[in-house]
Amino acid sequence: MRLVIARCSVDYEGRLTAHLPEATRLIMVKADGCVAIHADGGAYKPLNWMNAPNMLVTEPDRWEVSNSSGERLVITLHEVISDTDHFLGEDPGLLKDGVEAHLQALLAEKPWILEDGLKLIRREYPTDIGPVDLLCTDSEGRKVAVEVKRRGEIASVEQLARYLERLDQDSRLRPVRGILAAQSLPPQASVMAEARNIDAVIVDYEGLKEAESDELRLF
């Protein structure tokens, strides 16, 4: 991973146009090619970014990131304060707590409680940014990615949206739908899921544990 702290201005052209005026920011270039620009605030979300695959051309005072969709991100470097590279090694992925891992296992055994006709293809289906919890197929034969959470948050929706973006690049899978399965789901996350065309399902974990047949309860 390359981390650059610099005074920079940023221009984006693509689905819309956006401009970030000159300021000190962190530019992050991940091993997979993703480029993200962060401010010292605003929680986890970058100010602007370009997902892989893309092409990065760097000059001393100007970086240009482009992709096959015609998007272009231009970073003008006014002053480089720090420029370092770090090898992070292979990431083992997110280790879920006991409840979340058990919920995932139960849903893998009976995925049809989330949707009639849903069948499991594989647990922990790999993508180049991490594994999606369940990859299933629906009654129409379309692939469905399921992310399982104790509490579904906006970040959970965005995580699943990134997985869907990666899975859709595989011609054997696309188009891939998404389902966020959670014990609880705040209203803001529900709104975000709808905006991302992701189905959100609230699961009764205790009922799922106690069920001995198909008498499984969803709220």
Q: How many CB atoms lie within 10 A of CB 60?
A: 7
pLDDT band with cut points at 50, 70 and 90 for residue 26: very high
Which domains are present in the chain?
2-85 (2.70.180.20), 98-210 (3.40.1350.10)
Whole-angstrom CA distances from 200 to 149, 171, 178 are: 11, 25, 9
Of 57 and 106, the structure prediction assigns the larger pLDDT to: 57
Looking at residue 218, what is its pLDDT?
46
User: pLDDT (tens digit, 9 = 90+) per residue, 111-129?
Assistant: 888 888 999 999 889 888 8
Q: Give percent of the chain with pLDDT exceeding 90.
A: 39
Pair of tokens at residue 175: 């188009």
Q: What is the CA radius of gyration of the chain?
A: 20
Order the strands of the 55-59 sheet from edge to edge. 48-50, 35-38, 17-29, 2-13, 72-85, 62-66, 55-59
pLDDT band with cut points at 50, 70 and 90 for residue 92: low
Check pLDDT > 80 for residue 93: no
Which DSSP state fits 168? T
Check pLDDT > 50 for residue 165: yes
Average pLDDT over residues 79-98: 76
Average pLDDT over residues 84-88: 89
pLDDT band with cut points at 50, 70 and 90 for residue 99: low
Q: Give percent of the chain with pLDDT exceeding 70.
A: 89
C-alpha–C-alpha distance, residues 138 and 177, integer Å: 9
198 DSSP β-pair partners: 178
